[in-house]
């Protein structure tokens, strides 16, 4: 009789279930106690916790712990399921079966998929059955649970496929586990290193914006982990639907590549760091390149000079090459002539790549749009201010007039001429151009204000820019529920609820803000009082403004309403003031008044102490935020608090006479 051999070998499946079934059990129990069991415990509470619209991804169901299981368990499955590849005896035994290597591989893959999907599916069934017998709409919906099933199944299979792919590349199980996570994080890590590299060389490049807006698209793990199960941000699912389809496709690609590598993999590769010798040069170059970029980033952050950055490239690249060589040769004895030649070769190759990256962005650095190409422009002191508008669904206050747009372009051109990406100043400049063709252009610079003072002044004094600097100018009074005016010096302050008084206050405040000069905007006089707004029932908004004594209309209104002493800091509120002579020998790192004050206090320099109320009153004429001056004044409001509330400064000509006489 003719023998028949089935293409399916249930004994291999059964053996896999015995060997790695524990991973599936742990996965099931972990998800069960985090999700269904947590739901049952909520049913038993006398006062159930407040739920939110995030469903199974909310704080009640500990999405962060779910993510941890989702990331770790598939990797463990891949490591232990293909452990036989990395042990020579087990590898020889497994491949001695009368079965083609591809068929053996597919059996193990099928085992892993069943053992990983089963825990997810069983927990999903528990959730569905629970929804069928009781009302769970406060906690989740069937659509939410179905998305949870889809998300966990897709991401589990992706991470498992990545682990299997790495397992076919290496001959050591520990290396497989580590390299799997490195592979999944590698794109985002490289992206971040290159973004920092470009930020250090290319004027106008905004690494903050680039990373914030697209980093999640370079790693499925980051995409998972950046989701928050709490907070006021708009509710959304952890991973977008389109991304799930993409991740499913990537999982298939990993599977196809794994099959091909498995068939080509030599049996004697067990115990080697890389099973495919042809990949050794690629691995060495990649590790050398990544560590070189990391070393350059570390030393540039610490020292802010190109010489130290280059030193970091050399040190980091050397360490990376040595680590890669030790891993591949499985010994620390890699310091020999052969590896010295290799270090030079790979170092030169990595250096060429590092040097070439900024060259590709030279046109980006020098580009400034023409005025007739720009529809409108937004300028602020940083990307995060711009992003905050989007986070609160606020309309962006663009500059639209031709004269103001040209002033912004003039400022942009000056920034290109005087800025140095590595020599970061105190002031940020962030540009968003909306072009006539519908495209957007982003640029960010960091430089000291005094280098672009004239160009900055022409922009700041336009009414359109003031609507950017002070979002409260565009705030509809009818949307304000409450005003909170509280000096930081410890006075009680004042809260306004009366719509009529709120309206009157906003009228005089807007008058003062619209009349501010450039100097009053960047270096205001006196001690401020913070004003926060409750708008449409929430305080989570960017409507915040500081009141200064120079706001004449507002101060007059506060006095008429009898609030001035409560709202603004008085001389009687100051416990003491300390006056220092501003040393002219300090470098640019100590240009801000508070930084200079901290340096002087650290040097135990004896200040002029002022407690007389009349003299303290004259000290309120000092300016905030100036980067140079003749004298510093630190105000203290609590004798038990060693930190001052504010540090102001005076120029020589503006200082009170008693200060000049003391320091003569």
- pLDDT per position as a tens digit, 408-437: 999 999 988 888 877 766 778 889 899 988
Q: What angle do CA 430, 434, 436 make, to 5 degrees?
A: 150
At residue 429, the 3 state secondary structure works out as strand
Residue 215 lies in a domain: yes
Range among 265-274, 582-591, 648-657 rated most confident:
648-657
Among 1-10, 108-117, 181-190, 283-292, the minimum mean pLDDT is found in 1-10
- Is residue 601 pLDDT above 80, yes or no? no
Of 567, 589, 624, the residue that ends a domain is 567
Q: Would you state the pLDDT for residue 3?
A: 44
Q: Can you tell me the mean pLDDT for 568-573?
A: 87
Q: Inter-axis angle of helices 101-133 and 36-43, to 10 degrees?
A: 10
Residue 637 lies in a domain: yes
- Is residue 405 pLDDT above 50, yes or no? yes
Among 4-13, 339-348, 375-384, 469-478, the minimum mean pLDDT is found in 4-13
Q: Can you tell me the mean pLDDT for 623-637?
A: 84
| All residues at 6 or more sequence positions from 305 whose CB lies less than 8 Å from its CB, including other chains | 422
Range among 105-119, 275-289, 301-315, 576-590 rated most confident:
105-119
Q: Which two tokens stand for residue 101?
A: 């290597």
In this predicted model, which residue has the larger pLDDT, 49 or 296? 296
Q: Would you state the pLDDT for residue 91?
A: 56
In a shared domain, residues 125 and 166: yes
Token match 């020889």: residue?
92
Strand order in the sheet with 608-610: 608-610, 576-581, 631-636, 646-650
- Is residue 543 pLDDT above 50, yes or no? yes
Range among 20-34, 48-62, 320-334 rated most confident:
20-34
Concatenated DSSP letters for 603-620?
A: TTPPPEEE--HHHHHHHT
The H or E element that residue 594 is part of is helix 593-602
- Is residue 29 pLDDT above 90, yes or no? yes
- Is residue 274 pLDDT above 50, yes or no? yes
Q: Quick one: pLDDT band at residue 343, thresholds 50, 70, 90? A: confident
Beta-carbon neighbour count of residue 111 at 10 Å?
A: 22
Q: Quick one: pLDDT band at residue 230, thresholds 50, 70, 90? A: low
Among 135-149, 210-224, 560-574, 585-599, the minimum mean pLDDT is found in 585-599
Token match 């490239």: residue?
313
Q: Would you state the pLDDT for residue 1?
A: 37
- pLDDT per position as a tens digit, 39-92: 888 877 766 665 666 788 877 888 889 989 999 999 999 988 888 776 655 554
Q: Would you state the pLDDT for residue 606?
A: 84
In a shared domain, residues 355 and 371: no
In this predicted model, which residue has the larger pLDDT, 619 or 334? 619
| pLDDT more than 90, % of the chain | 16
Strand pairing class (529-535; 494-496): unpaired
Range among 265-274, 519-528, 621-630, 634-643 rated most confident:
519-528
Q: Would you state the pLDDT for residue 52?
A: 65
Q: Would you state the pLDDT for residue 27?
A: 94
In a shared domain, residues 255 and 290: no
Among 49-53, 545-549, 568-572, the minimum mean pLDDT is found in 49-53
In a shared domain, residues 548 and 451: no
Q: Would you state the pLDDT for residue 245?
A: 93
The H or E element that residue 592 is part of is none
Q: Quick one: pLDDT band at residue 253, thresholds 50, 70, 90? A: very high
Q: Would you state the pLDDT for residue 146?
A: 92
> How big, in percent rounded to 5, are the helix, strand and coil portions of the chain?
60, 10, 30
In a shared domain, residues 19 and 128: yes
Q: Would you state the pLDDT for residue 359?
A: 80
What is the distance between the alpha carbons of residues 164 and 494, in angstroms, rounded to a whole number?
A: 64
In a shared domain, residues 86 and 214: yes
In a shared domain, residues 350 and 418: no
In a shared domain, residues 55 and 29: yes
Alpha-carbon distances of 12 from 7, 17, 95, 379, 401, rounded to whole Å: 12, 9, 12, 65, 74
Count of domains for the chain:
5
Domain of residue 128 covers: 10-264
| All residues at 6 or more sequence positions from 55 whose CB lies less than 8 Å from its CB, including other chains | 139, 140, 141, 144, 145, 148
- pLDDT per position as a tens digit, 141-193: 898 899 999 999 999 999 999 999 988 888 777 878 888 888 888 888 888 88
Residue 276 lies in a domain: no
Of 447, 469, 491, the residue that ends a domain is 469
Residue 270 lies in a domain: no
Contact 124, 150 (CB under 8 A): no
What is the distance between the alpha carbons of residues 609 and 595, in angstroms, rounded to a whole number?
A: 19
In a shared domain, residues 455 and 499: no
Contact 591, 628 (CB under 8 A): yes
What is the distance between the alpha carbons of residues 586 and 357, in angstroms, rounded to a whole number?
A: 36
Q: Quick one: pLDDT band at residue 120, thresholds 50, 70, 90? A: very high
By the 10 Å C-beta count (0-12 exposed, 13-18 middle, 19+ buried), 370 is classed as exposed
- pLDDT per position as a tens digit, 491-532: 777 888 888 898 999 999 999 999 999 888 888 888 888 888
Ramachandran class of 206: left when φ > 0, alpha when ψ lies in -120 to 50, beta otherwise: beta
In a shared domain, residues 300 and 375: no
Q: Which two tokens stand for residue 168?
A: 């076919």
Residue 634 lies in a domain: yes
Of 533, 567, 601, the residue that ends a domain is 567
Contact 248, 156 (CB under 8 A): no
Q: Would you state the pLDDT for residue 318?
A: 84
Range among 96-105, 118-127, 285-294, 454-463 rated most confident:
118-127
Residue 518 lies in a domain: yes
In a shared domain, residues 111 and 216: yes
Q: How many CA atoms lie within 13 A of 557 on its CB side?
A: 18
Q: Quick one: pLDDT band at residue 585, thresholds 50, 70, 90? A: low
Among 227-241, 288-302, 594-608, the minimum mean pLDDT is found in 227-241
In a shared domain, residues 149 and 296: no
Torsion of CA 610, 616, 619, 621, to 10 degrees: 180
Q: Which two tokens stand for residue 327?
A: 């891993």
What pTM was computed for the model? 0.74
Q: Would you state the pLDDT for residue 8?
A: 60
In this predicted model, which residue has the larger pLDDT, 148 or 319? 148
């Amino acid at each position: 009789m003719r023998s028949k051999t089935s293409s399916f070998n249930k004994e291999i499946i059964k053996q896999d279930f015995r060997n790695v079934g524990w991973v599936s059990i742990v996965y099931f129990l972990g998800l069960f106690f985090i999700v269904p069991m947590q739901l049952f415990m909520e049913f038993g509470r006398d006062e159930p916790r407040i739920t939110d619209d995030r469903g199974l991804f909310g704080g009640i169901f500990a999405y962060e712990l779910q993510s941890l299981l989702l990331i770790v368990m598939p990797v463990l499955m891949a490591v232990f399921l293909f452990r036989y590849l990395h042990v020579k005896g087990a590898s020889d035994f497994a491949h001695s079966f009368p079965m083609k290597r591809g068929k053996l591989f597919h059996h193990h893959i099928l085992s892993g998929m069943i053992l990983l999907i089963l825990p997810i599916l069983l927990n999903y069934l528990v959730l569905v059955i629970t929804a069928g017998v009781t009302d769970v709409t406060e906690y989740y919906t069937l659509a939410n649970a179905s998305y949870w099933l889809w998300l966990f199944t897709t991401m589990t299979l992706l991470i498992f496929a990545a682990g299997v792919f790495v397992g076919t590349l290496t001959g050591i199980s520990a290396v497989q586990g580590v390299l799997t996570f490195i592979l999944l994080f590698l794109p985002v890590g490289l992206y971040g290193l290159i973004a920092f590299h470009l930020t250090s060389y290319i004027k106008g490049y905004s690494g903050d914006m680039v990373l914030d807006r697209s980093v999640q698209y370079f790693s499925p793990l980051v995409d998972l982990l950046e989701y928050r199960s709490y907070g006021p941000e708009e509710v959304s699912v952890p991973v977008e639907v389109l991304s799930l389809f993409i991740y499913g496709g990537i999982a298939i690609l990993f599977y196809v590549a794994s099959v091909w590598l498995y068939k080509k993999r030599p049996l004697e590769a067990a115990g080697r760091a890389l099973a495919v010798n042809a990949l050794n040069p690629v691995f060495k170059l990649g590790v050398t390149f990544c560590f070189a970029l990391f070393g350059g980033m570390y030393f540039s952050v610490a020292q802010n000079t190109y010489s130290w950055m280059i030193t970091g490239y050399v040190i980091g690249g050397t360490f990376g090459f040595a680590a890669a060589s030790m891993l591949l040769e499985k010994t620390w004895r890699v310091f020999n002539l052969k590896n010295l030649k290799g270090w030079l070769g790979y170092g030169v190759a990595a250096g060429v790549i590092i040097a070439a990256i900024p060259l590709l962005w030279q046109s980006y650095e020098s580009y400034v749009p023409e005025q007739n190409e720009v529809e409108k422009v937004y300028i602020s002191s940083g990307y995060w201010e711009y992003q905050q508008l989007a986070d609160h669904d606020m309309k962006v206050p663009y500059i639209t007039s031709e004269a103001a747009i040209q002033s912004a372009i003039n400022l942009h051109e000056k920034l290109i001429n005087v800025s140095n990406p590595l020599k970061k100043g105190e002031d940020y400049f962030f540009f968003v151009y909306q072009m006539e063709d519908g495209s957007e252009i982003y640029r960010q610079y960091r430089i000291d204000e005094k280098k672009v003072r004239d160009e900055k002044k022409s922009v700041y004094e336009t009414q359109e820019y003031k609507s950017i600097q002070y979002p409260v100018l565009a705030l509809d009074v009818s949307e304000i529920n409450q005003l909170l005016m509280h000096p930081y010096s410890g006075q009680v302050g004042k809260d306004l609820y009366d719509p009529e008084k709120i309206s009157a206050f906003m009228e005089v405040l807007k008058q003062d803000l619209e009349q501010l000069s450039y100097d009053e905007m960047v270096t205001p006089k006196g001690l401020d009082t913070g004003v926060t707004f409750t708008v449409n029932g929430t305080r989570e908004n960017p409507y915040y403004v500081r009141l200064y004594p120079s706001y004449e209309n507002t101060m007059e209104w506060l006095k008429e309403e009898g609030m001035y002493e409560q709202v603004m800091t008085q001389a009687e509120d100051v416990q003491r003031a300390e006056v220092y002579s501003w040393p002219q020998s300090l470098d640019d790192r100590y240009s801000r008044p508070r930084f200079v004050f901290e340096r002087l206090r650290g040097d135990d320099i004896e200040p002029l102490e002022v407690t007389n109320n009349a003299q303290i009153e004259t000290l309120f004429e000092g300016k905030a935020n100036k980067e140079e001056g003749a004298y510093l004044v630190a105000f203290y409001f609590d004798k038990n608090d060693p930190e001052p509330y504010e540090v102001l400064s005076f120029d020589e000509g503006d200082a009170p006479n008693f200060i000049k006489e003391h320091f003569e």
